[in-house]
Amino acid sequence: MRHTISILVENKSGVFTRIGGLFSARGFNLDGISVGPTEDNSVSRLTIVTHGNDKIIEQVNKQLNKLIEVIKVIDLTLEDHVERELALIKVSCNSETRSEIMQIVNIFRANIVDISARTLTIEVTGIVDKVQALINLLRHFGIREVARTGAIALKREYERT
């Protein structure tokens, strides 16, 4: 099963190595990793997307909680959450295919962020499946390069009644 795990850590050198080590020691393939600052400068948030046996992921969660730099581990898979990914896609184009690509870009509410005579670079944000669907659609024009962030996620809020 696919898991999205959000980890708040103290922003110290070496912490990513230790967390990466925890996953690789168990042979986990990380589908995506995102690390960025939070509202507190001393704290970073890691979002890890991985897939595997639920029991083993539960063990990894426990191991993560034992690391001294780890403040909080949330397996968002178990909660209702908002998840988003960002991708930059550089696709080949010419004067004939450009308008067709631009139509696809509009349908996906994506943006063109760089243009040359032979390429378009597209920025798209959405759930992982949407980003993948756009990449699949653009494939036959010739994809030159792709950079994807891996997903980030936050828990949805509910009204307390």
Question: Could you list the residues that contact a second copy (CB under 8 A)?
Answer: 6, 11, 13-14, 16-17, 20-21, 23-24, 27-39, 45, 47, 82, 84-88, 90, 113-114, 116-119, 121, 123, 125, 135, 139, 143, 145-150, 152-159
Note the residue count of the chain.
161
Q: Nearest approach, Cβ of 54 to a second copy (angstroms)?
A: 19
Q: What is the C-alpha to C-alpha distance for residues 116 and 95, in angstroms, rounded to an integer?
A: 11
And the tokens for 116? 């040359």
Q: Could you tell me the two tokens for 135?
A: 């990449």
Structural tokens at position 68 = 């001294």
C-beta of 35 vs 133, nearer to a second copy:
35
**Least distance between a second copy and beta carbon 132 (Å):** 9
> What is the enclosing helix (H) or strand (E) of 132?
helix 128-138
Q: How far is the CB of 109 from a second copy (least distance, A)?
A: 9
Given the complex with a second copy, which of 37 and 103 has the nearer CB atom?
Answer: 37
Q: Helix, strand, or coil here: 57?
A: helix
Q: Which is nearer to a second copy, 1 or 27 (CB)?
A: 27
DSSP for 38-76, please give it: -SSTTEEEEEEEEE--HHHHHHHHHHHHHSTTEEEEEEG
> Minimum distance between the CB of residue 160 and a second copy, rounded to whole angstroms?
9
Q: How far is the CB of 77 from a second copy (least distance, A)?
A: 15
Pick the closer one to a second copy by CB: 20 or 97.
20
User: In DSSP terms, which residues pair with 87 in a beta bridge?
Assistant: 124, 148
Residue 30 CA to residue 53 CA, distance in Å, equals 13
- Which CB atom, from 24 or from 106, has the smaller least distance to a second copy? 24
